[in-house]
Structure 1
Amino acid sequence: MDKIYYLASCDTCRKIIKSLPKNHNLKFHDIKQDPITVEQLEQMRELSGSYEALFSKKAQLYKSMDLKNKTLTEEDYKKYILEQYTFLSRPVFIIKDKIYIGNTQQNMHQVMLAFANV
């Protein structure tokens, strides 16, 4: 099943969800209300190739915890994402076993193309 991991309180996520085609068949997963599991994160890592690709360096905690001045390993990225939902780059779409991470214009274009090909 196609899925979106998002944050309901995030304005950007809400705007993106409103822009989705009406015929989408997504399962919505609010990562604040329902934290992601180890299994879900591992599936995302398999599709993306790394935990770092899923990690948001734009998160306020990234700066406040001074993580930008530390050398993080894949295990560190995994640990931080599981401990604090804000470290997951949002939104994360899984459509037909392909993953789309983040809200860049290029990424959202790829998501819309994926819906067009469903």
Structure 2
Amino acid sequence: MITLYGIKNCDTCKKARQALEQNRIEHRFHDLRADGLAPELLQRFIDGLGWEKLLNKSSTSWRQLSPEQQADLTREKAARLMLETPTLIKRPILDTGSALHIGFKAGHYDSLNLTEATG
């Protein structure tokens, strides 16, 4: 089953959910804030996408971090920050079961042949 990870009130996540629903793509939505973020899931995201791509440095959450928190980033430090504050994760993350895709742009999901992933 396809899973879309994000945050319920995020506009980009809303657009992604709407695109999946309009195309009748069966999926489940996992709210990273309400449903939680397990360390194993975050590790899977980091392994599949890279922590640099996953960490959203243009987010409000990032700007609210202290300079010390933002400095000297490593994979481990970034993972710790994302576990503590899931809104630091760029979203949405689409998990097709065989691949992870980050972000949303109109038409992108159409190119992924998602109907085959739900079949």
TM-score normalised over the length of structure 1: 0.82
- The offset of 1:102, in angstroms, is 1.6
Residue 88 of structure 2 corresponds to residue 87 of structure 1: yes
Q: 1:72 to 1:16 in 2, by over 3 A?
A: same
Partner of residue 108 from structure 2, selected from 110, 115, 118: 110
- The offset of 1:47, in angstroms, is 1.7
- Give the alignment's Cα RMSD to 1 decimal: 2.1
Q: Which residue matches 2:76?
A: 75
Percent identical residues = 24
Task: Name the CA distance, whole Å, in 2 between partners of 1:58 and 1:66.
Answer: 14
Q: Which residue matches 1:25?
A: 26
Q: How many residues align?
A: 114
Q: Which residue matches 1:59?
A: 59
Structure 1 portions without partners, runs of 5+? none
- The offset of 1:62, in angstroms, is 1.3
Which digits, 9 at most, give the CA deviation of each residue in 1:57-92, with x for residues without a partner?
121121222459623111111111100111111100
Q: 2:109 corresponds to which letter in structure 1?
A: V
Structure 2 portions without partners, runs of 5+? none
SS at match of 1:100: strand
Q: 1:101 corresponds to which letter in structure 2?
A: I
TM-score normalised over the length of structure 2: 0.81
